[in-house]
Structure 1
Amino acid sequence: MKVKDIAILAGIIGIVLMMVIPIPHVLLDILLILNISIALMILLIAMNTKEALDFSIFPAILLVTTLFRLALNVSTTRNILSHGYAGEVVQTFGTWVGGGEIAIGFIVFLILVVVQFIVITKGSERVAEVAARFTLDAMPGKQMSIDADLNAGLINEQQARERRSKIEREADFYGSMDGASKFVKGDAIASIIILLINLIGGFIIGMAIHGYSFQDALQTYSILTIGDGLVSQIPALLISTAAGLIVTRAASDGNFAQDVTQQLLKYPKLLYIVAGTVMLLGLFTPIGIMRTLPFAAILVFGAWKMQQSIAKQMQQEELMEEEQQIEEVRSPESVISLLQVDPIEFEFGYGLIPLADTQQGGDLLDRIIMIRRQCALELGLVVPVIRIRDNIQLKPNEYVIKIKGNIVARGELLLNHYLAMSPGFEDESVIGIETTEPAFGLPAIWIDEQMKERAEISGYTVVDPPSVVATHLTEVIKRHAHELIGRQETKALVENVKEAYPALIEELIPSILTIGDLQKVLAKLLREKVSIRDLVTIFESLADQAHYTKDPDILTEYARQALSRQITQQFTSTGNMLKVITVGPSLEKKIAESVQQTDQGSYIALDPVATQQIYQKLNEQVSRQIQSGQQPVVLTSPTIRMYLRQIVERTMQDIPVLSYSELEPNIEVQSVGVVNL
């Protein structure tokens, strides 16, 4: 055994021997001073620990110090009853604390006992009991959290083992503290009993054996009893306070002093209120301004110094953050972050900053939230987060919209004006700056506030700049929705459907189709502005047809036919009449003969002359429909619809191409034009 181990064993044995062997007065004084020193050291250690496990030996120390203190009580009691003297330490505490008055000494001692027993000991005992119970109840959840982190690869096996060990040690510690707190409670009760024994027994022995008079016995043994109680209760109070600090400490990065200065003094402005209250207390009460003024001045000075310190600390943190950012830019790993491309970006010149600045009344952020909700309802697509930033390279009133880092649309705004679009005839009294409406390319003019009412009376459609931007952004998202849905987004949609329809997803994925196959079908539907919100119907049709073909073009046609009611309602919003441009037999035959079949799928191979003729014929019919104020819709047979769509989307991407199988039987179809070769 090492020397320190032998010393500790000898100390424990010595504590036990103190209870039965008389101790000289000088040695007893030294031990009493040692007891106070140990109690003070334990309190300071408890104040400087960051968490309870940093002082995990505390329950055992609490038991040993309680035993040591009781042994000292027995020794002092023996000397008091035997000799009427227990050393200078007990004598000094008995006379000095009470100021020579026995009643005052008794009252001080009783106050210390009440504070320790009722306030600190009872509170520490209750906190330790609750902490032990909660720690044990939380152990299964903490263990599951560690297992989840380990399975996810966030921690390794060694870290998991250390965290499990810490949880077990926490449970053992709080369980031990729950039991050790009972020692403190018993020590407080024992102190009261020893007080009565010293007082009553000393009074009897002093008069019966030592021949003291009544007054001398009362004076001598009362002082010794008070001194013995105080010299015992002060270390007990310190250790009880240390126990309360240990069990009430929450998780923290610093010790008790750091937590007090950082949290309790975190709001220096409140000290000004306290200083003002103290000043008012001195002005309007008999306390007097001369007593409260110095204290209020100290509070004001302290608050000012703390504000200076906080400001200086914030400046240092900003400098450190800037230096850290500079170091990150200089580091080779910083280049990796530049590879990230935002799905959607909205950039604007400095003149349009009020659009996005809420302090200047801008509501662009709220409008973008509504755009995402609208796209989710109309297209069934969860639009990614739209990155908004200013760009000094743009013109002050210019903005651009980017899809995956590429500019797909741009426009200009005049913030203090309104965009007015003509109802079909021009009113010369409406004067403004000519421009083009960015979303649909319609001719428009920018008018000021004074001209707004006149334009509305003349039938113009008048919108404010934020609405222009919101409409343009919405149309761009709809036009490029097929680019925003990838495999990751498709998987998220599949997981959402799986919660309500697990059997459908288990049959479809991955035994029949992969996530990539589903993504191609959904992207093709969105490319033609067909909503994919009804994913259950789409997946049902794919589960039925994917056994026969894996061609995404053909699967898309089957999905469109399954969505016939939705597609029909999309183009017949009012009534049951649908006016269409039909494809003549000669054109259908030409397209069917031009279809080429390969191992990778089928495609159409038309000669340039025939393709040009189709464009010309179709453009004539579409222009006639637009001039009559109707939405042009091309209707053809199911077998060639996807091939005709491939031809049309090259020059007329917004023209819908439907097949007969995609229309409901109750819809009356009226042909307003025929396209033939």
Structure 2
Amino acid sequence: GYMAWKMWRASTLPPPPAIVEAAEPVDPSRIGWEEVTDNMQVMIDIGYGLVPLVDERRGGALMGRITGVRRQLSKELGFVVPQVRVRDDINMAPYAYRIVVGGVVIGEDSVSPDEMLALDTGQAVGSLPGKHAKDPTFGLDAMWISPADADAATGQGWLVVDPGTVMATHLNQALISNASDLLGPDEVQALLDGLRERAAQLVASLSPNPLPITTLTQVLRGLLAENIPLKEFRRIAAAIALAAQKSADADEIVELIRPELGPLIIQRLCGVREPLRVMTLEGQLEALLGQAIRSDPSKRHTIEPDLGRRIVDALQRAAQPLVAEAKPFALVVQPTIRIAIRKLVRTVLPDTPVMSFFEVPEDKSVEVVAVIGAPEALAA
């Protein structure tokens, strides 16, 4: 499946060349700026017991795995993912690690550096000698086993991976889930510089006028936050340039350009000849939500908690069989309530796009798999 492919992909990428830096003499009386702050956007802190995983002289392959993750993510997201710094922390448990982006911990777990993790992806049979565990990325049942038992475990249907691959896969998924935090003004400027070589007039019509780099960064981060990559940056930039003639507000620009980007969202859910599987809300419920949002002068796009809970419960019930069968779908709603619904479901269905009707091309066939809002669907 997808997870197995990701793990295999991360585990087969070659390690980067080793870089040896000469040590500089240290003045014990000097306290440098680098000692009180760290300008690296992405870091992995590790306990001392995991240091061998990053020591290439002792066969540690984690740095090579991380380089592979950065390379693949940069291709998928459409911009160069920042470098990842690995540092040991004596205050952590020996085999613990944590993934940090912008000073915020976005993932943490522990691995057994001298063992292999056997994952039950649904095909495993029989039991294995070892310690019970949970896969830190997808929450699958797993066992830490001796490397000597790896071949036998594979023969019984377990997916067996080394601890470096476990950490790299966790890093990959954590960065995908927090992709918007990886993009800053410097990365946006690099995107503009690259586009300028092919479409100078388009870039000139976009930034710094009418949009300063800070606003443009907000817009692009808004797209990444909803799993829309920036690979087709020329198309995205053209849509932003048009929208910027109507509004200078980043959130409004995101909503204005989404109909132009609808096909990019849909192609990740279904093939050209396949129908788009969608869930919708019942008409009266949409009207109720739309009225509540329009009457909120603060424009917070929030939904009354009890009603929100019932909508989420109904969506989860309807989504369960589709998720179990790995069938992607979208939740399609009226434009006026799209942001509110997205805020409502992003914690329970983070990978499900919430689209407005305007984002679905007229010539795209649609299969309605559920309508949320009937009294029985919103039972308390």
- TM-score, with normalisation over the residues of structure 2? 0.84
- Which residue pairs with 1:388 in the alignment? 86
Q: Does 1:378 align with 2:80?
A: no
Q: Deviations over 1:604-648 (max 9, x none)?
A: 243222222222222222233333443453222334322211222
Aligned-pair distance for 1:554?
2.8
| Alpha carbons 2:215, 2:250 under 8 Å: kept | yes
One-letter amino acid matched to 1:449: P
One-letter amino acid matched to 2:262: S
Structure with the larger RCO, 1 or 2 (CA within 8 Å, 6+ apart):
2
Alignment match of 2:30 (pick from 328, 339, 361): 328
Alignment match of 2:306 (pick from 609, 613, 616): 609
Where does 1:339-358 land on structure 2 (aligned, <5 Å)? Answer: 339-358=37-56
| Alpha carbons 1:576, 1:666 under 8 Å: kept | no
- Which residue pairs with 2:352 in the alignment? 655
Q: Deviations over 1:37-65 (max 9, x none)?
A: xxxxxxxxxxxxxxxxxxxxxxxxxxxxx
Alignment match of 1:403 (pick from 98, 101, 108): 101
Deviates more, 1:418-427 or 1:531-540: 418-427
The 1-side partners of 2:296 and 2:363 are apart by 38
- Which residue pairs with 1:461 in the alignment? 159
- Which residue pairs with 1:476 in the alignment? 174
The 2-side partners of 1:644 and 1:445 are apart by 38
Aligned-pair distance for 1:536?
1.0
Alignment match of 2:189 (pick from 491, 498, 508): 491
Q: Deviations over 1:235-261 (max 9, x none)?
A: xxxxxxxxxxxxxxxxxxxxxxxxxxx
| Alpha carbons 2:49, 2:95 under 8 Å: kept | yes
One-letter amino acid matched to 2:306: V
Q: Which has the higher helix share?
A: 1
The 2-side partners of 1:666 and 1:466 are apart by 46
The 1-side partners of 2:134 and 2:33 are apart by 40
Deviates more, 1:569-578 or 1:459-468: 569-578
Unaligned runs of 5+ in 1: 1-316
One-letter amino acid matched to 1:407: V
The 2-side partners of 1:514 and 1:654 are apart by 30
Aligned-pair distance for 1:458?
2.9
- Which residue pairs with 1:156 in the alignment? none
The 2-side partners of 1:586 and 1:369 are apart by 51
The 2-side partners of 1:451 and 1:574 are apart by 45
Q: Which has the higher strand share?
A: 2
Alpha carbons of 1:425 and 1:358: their partners in 2 closer, same or farther (altered >3 Å)?
Answer: closer
| Alpha carbons 1:597, 1:603 under 8 Å: kept | no
- Which residue pairs with 2:286 in the alignment? 588
The 2-side partners of 1:421 and 1:559 are apart by 41
The 2-side partners of 1:472 and 1:605 are apart by 32
Alpha carbons of 1:657 and 1:343: their partners in 2 closer, same or farther (altered >3 Å)?
Answer: same
Q: Deviations over 1:310-349 (max 9, x none)?
A: xxxxxxx98x923x2x1212xxxx3575234421111111
Aligned-pair distance for 1:437?
0.8
- TM-score, with normalisation over the residues of structure 1? 0.49
- Which residue pairs with 1:78 in the alignment? none
Aligned-pair distance for 1:386?
1.0
- Which residue pairs with 1:529 in the alignment? 227
The 2-side partners of 1:660 and 1:462 are apart by 44
| Alpha carbons 1:341, 1:405 under 8 Å: kept | no
- Which residue pairs with 1:636 in the alignment? 333
The 1-side partners of 2:49 and 2:155 are apart by 30
**What is the CA RMSD across the aligned residues, in angstroms?**
2.6
- Which residue pairs with 1:646 in the alignment? 343
| Alpha carbons 1:578, 1:667 under 8 Å: kept | yes
The 1-side partners of 2:74 and 2:33 are apart by 34
One-letter amino acid matched to 2:139: G
Alpha carbons of 1:387 and 1:672: their partners in 2 closer, same or farther (altered >3 Å)?
Answer: same
Where does 1:51-62 land on structure 2 (aligned, <5 Å)? Answer: none
Q: Deviations over 1:204-234 (max 9, x none)?
A: xxxxxxxxxxxxxxxxxxxxxxxxxxxxxxx
One-letter amino acid matched to 1:655: T
Aligned-pair distance for 1:589?
1.4
